[in-house]
Amino acid sequence: METRILNGRAVADAIKRELEEEIGDLRSKGLSPGLSVILVGENPASAIYVKNKTRSSEQLGIRSETIELPVTVSTEELLSRVGELNRNDEVDGILVQLPLPDHIDQDRVLQAVHPAKDVDGFHPVNVGKLSLGRPALAPCTPMGILELLKRERIPLSGAEAVVVGRSNIVGKPTAMLLLREHCTVTICHSRTRDLAAVCRRADLLVAAVGRPALIGTNHLKQGAVVIDVGINRVTDRDLAEEYFGADSPRLETFDRKGYCLVGDVHPRAASGVASAVTPVPGGVGPLTIAHLMKNTVTACRMRRASSPRTRRARRPVA
C-alpha cells in the first residue's frame, strides 16, 4: 500500500490565505485583531514557539506583542498582567505560553484569562462549550487536526478513532471534536491494557502522548490514517539511526544540529501500512499556529462585532 503524506504546511498556508481576506474585511470596518502573548522565563523551546507565533501574526497583519516576564514572577503578579490584558479592548487574544515555572499556579492563571479572549481554548467556559457541541474558542492543535482531516477528505462519520493521550490540551479536546464528527472514539493512556490491540481497531489513530516512536507497526491497522502530534527531540545518534535508518538524510540534520525530531509514531512504522500519515516536522505543528491566528481573528469578530461603537460596548471585565 502506498502511504500518502498529509502536508500540514500546505493546509496551514491555505488557512492563512483565507484569514488575510477576513482580516481585510475587519479592517474595512475599523477593526484590527490583536494578540498578546505572555512568556515567563527563558525556556528555549517556549521562546521559539512564541517567535513563530509572532512571525505568523506579523505576516497576516495581526497586531501582536510579547510580554516577557522573569522566571521569578509570582502568581499574583502574573494574574495582574492578565487582568490588564482582559481590560484592554484592543487585545482580542491572550495566550499564556506553557509550561509555567513550578511555583506558579497554572490553573489560576489560565482561568483568569477572559473566555472571550482565550485563544488557546483552555478556559473552563470554552471547554464546557466544546463538550456540549456549542460554538467556542477551541484548542488550536485539535482544531488543526480536524481541519487537516476535512481538507484531505478523510471520512470521519462512523469511523473508529483511537486517541493515544488524555491531556487537556490535545487528547481530550481532539476526542470531543471527533465525537462531534460522528466518530466512535476511544481514548488511551498509560494504564490502557494491550495498547497495541486497542490501536489496531482504529481507522483513525491520533498519537499525542509525548513518547518518541511509541507507536510501531504492530499498533496500526492496514489502511489506517495516522495523525502524529508528537514532537520529541532525539539527541542520541544511535537512537536516531535506529529510528530513521543508517542511510536516512535525517541523520545529516542530526550531525548538523546535534539533534533531530521524531514523533510519537516510529518514523518507519506507517510506510506501506497506513493509508495516510502526518510527517514530523511539517504535519500538525504548522496547523497549530494557523489556528491560533484563526482563533484570534474569530475572537475579534465575536467580541467587537461589526463596528468600533459595538467594540466599545462589549468591553470584557477582568
Which three cell numbers mark 100?
509555567
Nearest CA among 294, 301, 261, 304 for reference residue 280:
261
Residue that has been written with the C-alpha cell 481585510 in this structure: 24
DSSP 24-91: HHHHHTT---EEEEEEES--HHHHHHHHHHHHHHHHHT-EEEEEEE-TT--HHHHHHHHHHHHH-TT-
Catalytic residue among 16, 53, 117, 172: 53
Catalytic residue among 92, 118, 120, 228: 120
Amino acid (one-letter) located at 269: A
Q: With contact defined as beta carbons under 8 Å apart, do 175 and 187 qualify?
A: yes
Q: How far, CA to CA in Å, does 116 sit from each of 5, 91, 287, 316?
A: 36, 11, 22, 8
Catalytic residue among 92, 97, 228, 294: 97
Q: Is 97 a catalytic residue?
A: yes
Active-site residue list: 53, 97, 120
